[in-house]
Amino acid sequence: MSGKKEHGLEMAMGRMLQIGVTLAALVVLIGGVLYLAQNGGTQRDYRHFHDATPATTTVSGIVASAARFDPRGIMAFGILLLIATPVCRVIFGVVGFAVLRDRLYTLISLIVLSVLLFSFFSQR
């Protein structure tokens, strides 16, 4: 077991998370500015729960509405990028442990990854 290589894997994960968060924050900020420019003075009702539209609840819906430059879609896309950062970290784990030839931890990382993917693509 090489501690140095593992530290390299950790550093790569940290760097990736940093870039992911910065990118997500920028996208959300752009969407937020556009949203406020369009809906500045209006007050939305947050007190009661409404049924949400697919445009902000499914991965494909979010991508489609962000591609139309809908401010809410852009914000949702930024949030999706943010949620994707820890998922990428687990993917880094799968690849990293495979490179280190650690079969047990490649498998454990794969289990975590499949639980995460299940939560995104299971119940619609």
Partner 1 sequence: MTGLGGGVVIIPVLCLLFKVDIHYALGASLVSVIATSSGAAAAYVRDGFSNIRIGMFLEVATTLGALLGAYLTAKVSGNWIGVIFGLVLLYSAWASLHKLHDVAHAGPPDPLALRLDLKGSFPDNGHENEYVATHVPAAFGIMFGAGTLSGLLGIGSGAVKVLAMDYAMKLPFKVSTTTSNFMIGVTAAASAGIYLGRGYVLPSLAMPVMLGVLVGSLVGARVLARTEVKTIRLGFAAVIVALGAEMIFNGVTGRL
Closest approach of Cβ 53 to partner 1, in Å? 8
42: tokens are 């209006």
29: tokens are 């900020």
Toward partner 1, which CB reaches closer, 69 or 124? 124
CA 81 to chain centre: 4
Toward partner 1, which CB reaches closer, 17 or 64? 17
Measure the CA–CA gap between 82 and 86, rounded to whole angstroms.
Answer: 8
- Alpha helix (H) ranges present in 1-124? 3-39, 59-67, 71-99, 103-121
Q: Which residues bind partner 1 (CB under 8 A)?
A: 1, 3, 6-7, 9-11, 13-15, 17-18, 20-21, 24-25, 28-29, 31-32, 35, 39, 44, 46-52, 56-58, 72-73, 75-76, 78-80, 82-87, 89-90, 93, 102, 104-105, 108-109, 111-112, 115-116, 118-124
